[in-house]
Amino acid sequence: MPAGYSFRPRAWAVALAAAGCAAGIGLGNWQTERAAGKRAAAAAQAPLTLRGELLAQHTLYLQNRPHRGKPGYYVVQPLRQADGRFVLVLRGWSAVNALPPMPRGDVILEGVRRQGLPRIYQAGDEPAAGNVRQNMTLGEYAAWSGLSLEPYVIEQHSGLVVTQPPAPPDSLARDWPRADAGADRNESYALQWYSLAALSLILFFVLNLKIGKRES
């Protein structure tokens, strides 16, 4: 009497397998898109050279930004270019007790564009006062400073070249994370989610495929 097989999954098993497969594929696609977006952003970053005057009176300090285990700030200043346009510059990191002197006169700097200022988790609303903040958007900075800004931020990568007077020492740290940082991790997560989708299908077939007996 040869052995036969039967495959009669119940409705709840079909629904569970479909949900697991759909979730795995959807989350895998999401992580894949995040990785692709980071790599595209890194590829699109072209260095820019800007010249103008940094406005010390509108300096912003983004607090709670540790660097190599030390507490500190991100220093942010607007640059007034020769044509009168203002662009916000994310200048670098400074230790709490070692804020750098502010340059005067025309400066030349290099950097890359980014969509906005870096943000960290913030519990509740922050009082809108002073030049030390946890987070700030471009719109909030424009309202706070009264300046009409370009719709992007320059992440400074070079030290300043000051035309006049002589430049003060620039102690700001600028080892910024790469735009594609975390892309490898996103791809690893995507593989895990795709594996979950495949496992859902395998378990569905294995657990619902039964060996029975039939008469010849």
The verdict on 149 and 101 lying in the same domain is yes
Phi, psi of 208, deg, nearest 5 = -110, 0
Residue with tokens 């490898």: 184
The verdict on 51 and 155 lying in the same domain is yes
Q: What is the mean pLDDT of the chain?
A: 85
The verdict on 60 and 138 lying in the same domain is yes
pLDDT range class, residue 215, cuts 50, 70, 90: very low
When mean pLDDT is compared across 24-33, 87-96, 119-128, 185-194, the lowest value belongs to: 119-128
The verdict on 53 and 153 lying in the same domain is yes
When mean pLDDT is compared across 125-134, 144-153, 185-194, 199-208, the lowest value belongs to: 125-134
Q: Assess contact for 80 and 19: CB atoms under 8 A.
A: no
Report the share of the chain in percent with pLDDT over 90: 46
Peptide bond into 47 cis (omega under 30): no
> Does the pTM exceed 0.75?
no
Work out the burial of residue 79: count CB atoms within 10 Å of its CB; fewer than 13 is exposed, 13-18 middle, 19 or more buried. Answer: buried
Beta bridge mates, 65? none
Structural domain for 13, as ranges: 3-43+182-213
The verdict on 122 and 198 lying in the same domain is no
